[in-house]
Amino acid sequence: MLQNDIAISVEGLKKSYKSVAVLKGVDFEVKTGSIFALLGSNGAGKTTIVKILSTLLKQDSGNALVNGFDIVLNSDSVRQSISLTGQFAAVDEILTGKENLIMIAKLRHLSKPVEIAENLLIRFGISDAADRRVSAYSGGMRRRLDIAMSLVGDPQIVFLDEPTTGLDPEVRIEFWKVIKELSSNGTTVFLTTQYLDEAEHLADRIAILHEGRIVVSGTFLGLKKLFPKSKVEYIEKQPTLEEIFLAIINKKGED
Amino acid sequence: MKTTNNYFLNDLSVMVGRSMRHTFRSLDTIITVTIMPLALMLIFVYVLGGAIQSGSDNYVNYLLPGVLIIAIANGIGYVSYRLFMDKQRGIFERFHSMPIARSAALWGHVLTSLVSNMISLVVIILVALIMGFRSDASIVSWLAVFGILIFFTLALTWIAVIPGLSAKSVDGAAVIAYPIHLLPLISSAFVPTETMPGPVRAFAENQPVTSIVETVRSLLSNQPVGNEIWIALAWCIGIMLVAYFFAMGVYRKRM
Ligand SMILES: Nc1ncnc2c1ncn2[C@@H]1O[C@H](COP(=O)(O)OP(=O)(O)OP(=O)(O)O)[C@@H](O)[C@H]1O
Ligand SMILES: [Mg+2]
């Protein structure tokens, strides 16, 4: 079955809030084990897509399969296959970091929740703060815990909505490593970002969401080819993703 | 494959464990739910008690039912507050994107409200015993007392769920607590209604708290309860059902 190859496939996805059409027919596919970056400016609808795919929100029309399961008809199985790290850290402030992880492990019905929690604390470098309440964590520690909570039980597909927003550059680079590691272990990573360099560094495929549709998608190299060769300068200049992004959006705005 | 419903009890107990920790770790919850009603009881008995003609020789006996009701009414504001915080912090989204019984997240809060209220009622009754409360009520009467108080707690809890899920701000979420705080004061909880002026008296005698207080008072003092117990039960169960359906409607729509 295709299920093994394609982790996420989305077809004709539409969603409006009241009268405002946010998604006007979104199509894309994500290969199993790859890192897929969804790029878009503020309000483009990235979070809306993530919420629909993680079964929190129902689309108005269109279909999507996640791990081979229909997100509406088979939402239970979808939830078995995924984890969500929302745009804002969803951690329990009153519990300690360790208690947060244990709670998630129990809710995922895993045996040895304490062991799982301890391993993740070490892996994310927060074991020193394990028994402190999260309300005393810094923003970066919170986000690390947040992502650690999402990895409890090794879900096959991981949704990360702007995972590195608000992190200092050092922690960001650490995260990139974690994400690369996940993908090399076969986990599919779907992430949204506004940082073009993040997509450039991490993603196997990049899709740009603009005005309700995916306006381009492909590998970074592929996107570069779409961009007109830079005029001869003294040093040949490679277009950055940022330039590609702006060029595409401006072009769409003109016609 | 096991469906998520098989895990309802497991998930529910994790949820209750979590919010019980919230309750025990926040000092102000304990103060509001247990210490405040106790202080009120001390003030009424030792400061105002001499001046109030309750028509019974043991004022603690007269007062206790009202103090229990106040304790419950004080506690339910926290249900709204905790639900609101969970919604705002994205905790509900995290839970709802996981393979757990969906309603466990909501029921966890409701059961926590019930359990923590029952604990504070027991503490208050123990202190009342030290202050001279005496009752020769039978086990059956005590069970009836707790039965009615459980229904009353559930009724108020489900009312509190509604603003907790729909409010736009913390203040909005907590607003429901104010009118509910006032109800016991305009009832026969602390002074006999006969002393009140006409319209106030009419209100006091026909609002739910009076029938609940009177029923509990009769049960504890081994007096016949007459019709009052059915009126009290009808109020509690009626309010509970209406609030439950309304709250579940909000939950389905907003979550
Ligand atoms: N519940 C809602 N009700 C009404 N409009 C909404 C709602 N949620 C989102 N929107 C609107 O839908 C559009 C897309 O929002 P969304 O959060 O998906 O964007 P985003 O790409 O994630 O933006 P950001 O980069 O700021 O996170 C925005 O214009 C937003 O105002
Ligand atoms: Mg967003």
- On whether any CB of chain A is under 8 Å from the CB of B4, the answer is yes
Helix, strand and coil content of chain A, in percent to the nearest 5, comes to: 40, 25, 35
3-state secondary structure of A13: strand
Name the token pair of A209.
């969401």
Q: Is A47 in the pocket of ligand 1 (CB under 6 A)?
A: yes
The residue range of the domain holding B13 is 4-254
Cβ A93 vs Cβ A133: under 8 Å: yes
pLDDT in tens, chain A (255 residues): 444 689 999 999 999 998 899 999 999 999 999 999 999 888 899 999 999 999 999 999 999 999 999 999 999 999 999 999 988 889 999 999 999 999 999 999 999 999 999 999 998 889 999 999 999 998 888 988 999 999 999 999 999 999 888 777 887 888 898 899 999 989 999 999 988 888 888 999 999 998 899 988 888 777 777 665 555 445 555 666 667 777 777 765 554
Give whole-number Cα distances, B224 to B56, B104, B135, B215, B218, in Å. 16, 40, 14, 9, 6
- Give B-chain residues touching A88 at CB under 8 angstroms: 89-90
User: What is the pairing mode between strands A188-193 and A157-161?
Assistant: parallel
Q: Is A48 in the pocket of ligand 1 (CB under 6 A)?
A: yes
- Give A-chain residues touching B100 at CB under 8 angstroms: 107
In a mutagenesis test of the B interface, which of A77, A101, A109, A131 is the best target, namely the one with the most B β-carbons within 10 Å? A109
What number is the ipTM of this complex? 0.86
| Tokens 């595409």 belong to residue | A248
Residue closest by Cα to atom 29 of ligand 1: A43
- Give the separation between CA A191 and CA B4, rounded to whole angstroms: 27
- Give A-chain residues touching B107 at CB under 8 angstroms: none
**What protein residues have CB closer than 5 angstroms to ion ligand 2?**
A 46-47, 87
Subunit contact A109:B96, Cβ cutoff 8 A? no
Residue closest by Cα to atom 5 of ligand 1: A17
| Tokens 């429901």 belong to residue | B176
User: For chain B, how many structural domains are there in total?
Assistant: 1
* Out of B26, B90, B95, closest to residue A88 by CB: B90
**H helices within chain A, ranges in order?**
46-53, 75-81, 97-107, 113-123, 139-151, 169-184, 196-202, 220-226, 241-254
Cβ B212 vs Cβ B237: under 8 Å: no
Residue B236 has phi, psi (to 5 degrees) of -60, -50
